[in-house]
């Protein structure tokens, strides 16, 4: 090898994962501030199960613990899943989610870097298919809840079941749930938008904080602009078209961008370097199509949000996209009728 | 999934002039071992996956379809082995399919007559036994070249091997998905068996994922992994 002025040090896997988790903090903070302390319980539980399953599988595979556990990848998966799930769900829901995320989607495929599907989204998809009831009991914004839970209450609800406090006192439908059920009932748009869920901007503020964290990732060059921009544009353009065609059935693109998992998905989930496309053109195609799928699933699918399914479906296409979008190697000319470069 | 063209198993090179041997000769033992373990259609040859994945959502369905398939396989291999010298080589596949289809029709009508409830539950998967590639695979690879007794033995063992995988997968999915064992057994054995369902857990919410098709794929993958694990351990010891 010929020596060059290589840069040394800098981004190890563990440092990258830590920075991404750092970028999630504004969103987590906003969530805790607006929706109560339940988020700490679910983050803690998911992290615990993630490390546990990761250690167990590393042991079964006969791999060394320390280098793999300290790469923080399991922890980041745990955080992403915890932020996608409703807080204050029963503890076993988080356990099953992490089981499928870490054991099935990651370690059975060969560990970090070998997984075909985004682990957090696999966990999410399994849970929403299997336990739709728990997966739609979202914690209400504090401003709307009849009963604000303390941290101790939150532990109680997660571990001991709902107990003395009725779930109706602290849960509510999300913006997307409400939109989906009400438009099916042919409720006029004005009266849907007048509902308290839409008045409280809790979800939108959390989404804006994820956007802020995402901009930090862009600034620190951990991700490129291609995936977030194409993802958001895909959602906005297709949701906008649907909105233009029939505003009584389809919400405005702005509501789509700042509700559900779109912001988290665009900057933190679709950008997963293992499961996303890796060429610049490929990233645009991959994320753009994922964004379009999100809008389509939200508009016509059975589930209120579609980020997980959209990302998983596009994960399947990544090898195909990558092989057709390889950039021209420097020094090679574009083919002009002949086979020889 | 069940295209018969690609259904030729890798071991399809039997000795053409194998000596006729009594049951439980070395050869018969090989046939039994192949069907149940070494060349198990479910987890080694991966043939007939369509019904395997679709019907294995509980033990009763799995066992019923497994036994029906075994019966058809034994009858089909036996009949083909009997008439194999009269079928011109060029049109053997259509002839085999016709024989299999006729036998499946008989089994289907019998199930319709005697276990009508089960017949409705299994639905289209009974006539689909015709296109199950493991049936045609055994006929083409084994019965068209070997003696009648060995063919029947081979088909029965292959069928039982498939049934074992179906039942294991069905049990796994039923326990995880619904928290019971033998639910729907009254469909197969009549109302007398209504109380034979074993509930394993009370107020179990169920885990729908295990009952849905992805649960079947992951479950089958785990069974194959288990078999490979056992093989690895055995070869490690030797």
Q: What is the pLDDT of residues A53-67, one digit of tens each?
A: 999 999 988 888 888
Query: Is residue B21's pLDDT more than 70?
Result: no
Residue B198 has φ and ψ, to the nearest 5°, of: -100, 110
Q: Which residues pair with B181 in a beta bridge?
A: B198
Split at pLDDT 50, 70, 90, the class of B184 is confident
Q: At what angle do helices B148-178 and B213-237 cross, to 10 degrees?
A: 120
Question: Helix, strand, or coil here: B198?
Answer: strand
User: Quick one: CA torsion of B215, B218, B223, B226, rounded to 10 degrees?
Assistant: -140
- Contact criterion met (CB < 8 Å) for B218 and A130: no
Dist CA A159 CA A161 (whole Å): 6
- Contact criterion met (CB < 8 Å) for B209 and A130: yes
The structure tokens listed for A26 are 């504004």
- Contact criterion met (CB < 8 Å) for B207 and A129: no
Residue B181 has φ and ψ, to the nearest 5°, of: -135, 145
- Which one-letter DSSP state was computed for residue A327? P
- Contact criterion met (CB < 8 Å) for B209 and A126: yes
Dist CA A175 CA A8 (whole Å): 47
Q: How far is CA A34 from CA A28, B16, B155, B218, in A?
A: 10, 78, 66, 39
pLDDT digits (tens, 9 = 90+) for A204-243: 889 999 999 999 999 998 899 999 999 999 999 999 999 9
In angstroms, the separation between the Cα of residue A182 and the nearest Cα of chain B is 27
In angstroms, the separation between the Cα of residue A108 and the nearest Cα of chain B is 10
Question: Helix, strand, or coil here: A43?
Answer: helix
Q: Nearest by CB to A129, from B205, B212, B218: name it.
A: B212
Best mutation target, B178, B205, B209, B232, to test chain A (most A CBs within 10 A): B209
Closest CA to A40 of A73, A83, A72, A70: A83
Q: How far is CA A76 from CA A93, A290, A307, in A?
A: 18, 22, 18
- Please tell me the pTM assigned to this model: 0.83
Best mutation target, A126, A134, A313, to test chain B (most B CBs within 10 A): A126
Query: Does ipTM come in above 0.90?
Result: no
pLDDT digits (tens, 9 = 90+) for B187-203: 666 666 666 677 776 66
**Beta-carbon contacts below 8 Å between A and B:** 13
Q: Nearest by CB to B208, from A104, A108, A130: name it.
A: A130
Split at pLDDT 50, 70, 90, the class of B15 is very low
Best mutation target, B176, B205, B233, to test chain A (most A CBs within 10 A): B205
* Beta-sheet pairing, B180-181 with A171-172: unpaired
In angstroms, the separation between the Cα of residue A242 and the nearest Cα of chain B is 32
Among chain A residues, CA nearest to B208: A130
Among chain A residues, CA nearest to B225: A108
* A171 contact partners, CB below 8 Å, separation of at least 6: A86, A88, A137, A138, A139, A140
CB atoms within 10 A of CB A270: 31
Query: Is residue A330's pLDDT more than 90?
Result: no
Best mutation target, A96, A100, A129, to test chain B (most B CBs within 10 A): A129
CB < 8 Å to A130, chain B:
207-209
CB < 8 Å to A131, chain B:
205, 208
Identify the pLDDT of residue B4: 43
Q: How far is CA B9 from CA A117, A235, B48, B49, B142, in A?
A: 31, 48, 12, 14, 10
Residue B180 has φ and ψ, to the nearest 5°, of: -130, 175
- Contact criterion met (CB < 8 Å) for A131 and B205: yes
CB A67 within 8 A of CB A14: no
């Amino acid at each position: 090898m010929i020596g060059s002025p290589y840069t040394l040090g800098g981004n190890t896997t563990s440092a990258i994962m830590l920075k991404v988790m750092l970028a999630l903090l504004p969103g987590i903070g906003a969530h805790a501030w607006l929706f109560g302390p339940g988020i700490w319980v679910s983050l803690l539980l998911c992290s615990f199960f993630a490390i546990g399953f990761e250690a167990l599988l590393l042991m079964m595979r006969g791999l060394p613990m320390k280098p793999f556990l300290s790469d923080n990848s399991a922890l980041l998966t745990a955080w992403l899943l915890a932020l996608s799930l409703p807080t204050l769900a029963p503890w076993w829901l988080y356990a099953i989610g992490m089981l499928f995320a870490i054991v099935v989607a990651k370690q059975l495929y060969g560990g970090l870097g070998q997984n075909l599907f985004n682990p957090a989204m696999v966990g999410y998809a399994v849970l929403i298919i299997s336990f739709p009831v728990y997966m739609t009991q979202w914690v209400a914004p504090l401003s709307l809840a009849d009963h604000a839970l303390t941290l101790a209450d939150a532990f109680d609800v997660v571990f001991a079941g709902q107990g003395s406090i009725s779930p109706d006192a602290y849960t509510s439908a999300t913006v997307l749930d409400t939109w989906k059920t009400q438009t099916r009932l042919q409720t006029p748009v004005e009266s849907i938008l007048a509902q308290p869920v839409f008045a409280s901007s809790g979800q939108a503020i959390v989404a804006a904080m994820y956007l802020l964290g995402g901009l930090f990732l862009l600034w620190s060059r951990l991700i490129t602009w291609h995936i977030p921009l194409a993802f958001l544009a895909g959602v906005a353009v297709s949701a906008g078209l649907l909105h233009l065609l029939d505003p009584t059935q389809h919400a405005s693109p702005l509501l789509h961008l700042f509700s559900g998992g779109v912001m988290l998905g665009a900057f933190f989930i679709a950008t997963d370097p293992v499961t996303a496309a890796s060429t610049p053109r490929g990233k645009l195609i991959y994320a753009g199509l994922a964004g379009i799928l999100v809008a389509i699933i939200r508009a016509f699918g059975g589930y209120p949000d579609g980020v997980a399914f959209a990302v998983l479906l596009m994960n399947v296409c990544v090898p195909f996209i990558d092989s057709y979008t390889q950039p021209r190697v420097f020094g090679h000319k574009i083919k002009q009728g002949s086979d020889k470069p | 999934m069940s295209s018969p063209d690609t259904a030729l198993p890798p071991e399809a090179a039997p000795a053409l002039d194998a000596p006729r041997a009594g049951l439980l000769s070395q050869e018969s033992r090989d046939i039994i071992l192949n069907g149940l373990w070494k060349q198990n259609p479910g987890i080694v040859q991966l043939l007939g996956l369509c019904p395997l994945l679709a019907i294995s959502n509980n033990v009763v369905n799995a066992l019923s379809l497994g036994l029906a398939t075994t019966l058809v396989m034994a009858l089909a291999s036996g009949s083909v082995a009997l008439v194999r010298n009269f079928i011109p080589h060029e049109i053997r596949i259509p002839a085999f399919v016709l024989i299999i289809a006729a036998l499946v029709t008989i089994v289907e009508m019998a199930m319709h007559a005697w276990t009508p409830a089960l017949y409705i539950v299994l639905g289209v998967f009974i006539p689909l036994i015709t296109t199950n590639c493991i049936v045609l695979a055994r006929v083409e690879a084994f019965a068209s070249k070997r003696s009648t007794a060995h063919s029947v033995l081979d088909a029965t063992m292959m069928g039982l091997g498939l049934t074992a995988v179906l039942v294991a997968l069905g049990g796994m999915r039923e326990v995880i998905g619904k928290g019971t064992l033998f639910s729907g057994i009254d469909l197969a054995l009549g109302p007398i068996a209504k109380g034979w369902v074993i509930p394993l857990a009370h107020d179990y919410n169920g885990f729908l994922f295990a009952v849905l098709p992805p649960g079947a794929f992951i479950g089958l993958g785990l069974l194959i992994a288990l078999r490979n694990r056992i093989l690895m351990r055995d070869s490690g010891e030797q």
